[in-house]
Amino acid sequence: MKKVLGLILELNPFHNGHKYFIDESIKRINPDIVIAITSGNYTMRGEVSIIDKFTKTKLLLDSRIDIILELPFISTMNSADLFAYNSLSILSKFKITDLAFGVELDNLETLNKMKTIIDSEIYNNILKEKLALGLSYSASSFKALNELSNDSKLINNFTLPNNTLGVQYLRSIEKLKKKINIHLIKRIDNNYYDKHPTSAIASATSLRLLLEENNKINDYIPKFPLEINFINPRLVEENIFFILKYIFYNNDLIYFQNILGVKEGIENRINNFITKSSNYKELLENVKTKRYTSNKIKRLFLHIIMNTNNKYQNKENYYFRVLGATNSGFDYINTLSKQTKGKIITSFKNKENDEFIQFELKATKIYGLLTKQEDIYLNEFKIPIIGGRNDD
């Protein structure tokens, strides 16, 4: 039986920390096949990726990945629990035996304790009480945990972003009832929210801030043979802000009722502040509340631009997108079940009548508008990208 390693990556951008994570995972596990699922042109936290999914695919093929899968827009643009479940649901269909993910705390026992607590009835009852008081989800979770545990290590690590996502991966594996070996790779050097690089392994947050100021980030990314066209996040935000204003100026508020994520009158709040805000960041700061965090609002902005219907809430993945693969990767795909192979999509050719694929195509077209790459959607008809695994 082949050892198949699964990785879940966003790569916004692909930096030295990602290279360390991939290399360390392969070194520890020594898999026969490595499968990575990536969130493509948009990220879970509601950001437009500063490198496109086709470039990500080429970089991953150059990084000893055998199969690169895409997590569709609808599955990506979700809270951590749904993002994790959607990712693991796809990877499980590709029969991964092992999963590696990065964490601040490389202690599986403590992460499993966190999982047990947040799955308990008493925790969820306390959580609902805190949410009813108007607290944010993260603040409510933290307070609920403090009432149920006096384990300082567990409490201090509970809200750290990689740990939070790691717990959701563990929950998803349990829900899917899959036996998958877990490998924790401890995050080194900069933390996720660090805004200034202090070493060659810098946070993605700090690198996006450098790009906003038109600074180079070459010292913090691997030396790839491919020249990368990084998008300036500030320019993208300006385009999002412009399009949002157009949409709100051009539609009555009833227009927003069926858009995914629009509830509790949040459209009124955006409408109120959109004329009072001078840029994207100001609008985000004005609209967010204890209940509506920055990430939730950023996802909502993109769903409004995409006109994502709320019928897509919690939709299961029903097709599997292969963005690229090595020859070994394609050979492995041929060993999968007929049911899985029958749902694999490698190109959008002749898919004009498929609602979900046409929605994904629209997401790429809008990505092209936001990043001034209007022809980038044509790549959807050219993939999969074929590469060679370098085992040196």
Summarised one tens digit per residue, pLDDT across range 162-181 is 999 999 999 999 999 999 99
Summarised one tens digit per residue, pLDDT across range 25-49 is 999 999 999 999 999 999 999 999 9
Predicted pLDDT of residue 47: 97
Predicted pLDDT of residue 323: 98
Q: Look at residues 100, 101, 98 and name the one whose alpha carbon lies nearest to residue 32.
A: 98
Predicted pLDDT of residue 384: 94
Kindly indicate the confidence band of residue 291, based on its pLDDT and cuts at 50, 70 and 90: confident
Kindly indicate the confidence band of residue 390, based on its pLDDT and cuts at 50, 70 and 90: very low
Amino acid letter for position 360 = E
According to CATH, the superfamily of the domain at 4-104+161-231+316-387 is HUPs (3.40.50.620)
Summarised one tens digit per residue, pLDDT across range 324-369 is 999 999 999 999 999 999 999 999 999 999 999 999 999 999 999 9
Predicted pLDDT of residue 198: 74
Query: How far out from the chain centre does Cα 18 lie?
Result: 14
Question: What's the rounded mean pLDDT across residues 269-298?
Answer: 95
339, exposed or middle or buried, with CB in 10 Å at 0-12, 13-18, 19+? exposed
Query: Buried b / exposed e across 223-258, counting CB within 10 Å, b at 16+?
Result: eeeeebebbbbbebbebbbebbeebbeeeeeeebee
Amino acid letter for position 367 = Y
What does the domain layout of the chain look like in residue ranges? 4-104+161-231+316-387, 109-157, 233-312
Q: Quick check: 159 and 94 in contact, CB under 8 A? A: no
Residue 218 has pLDDT above 70, yes or no: yes
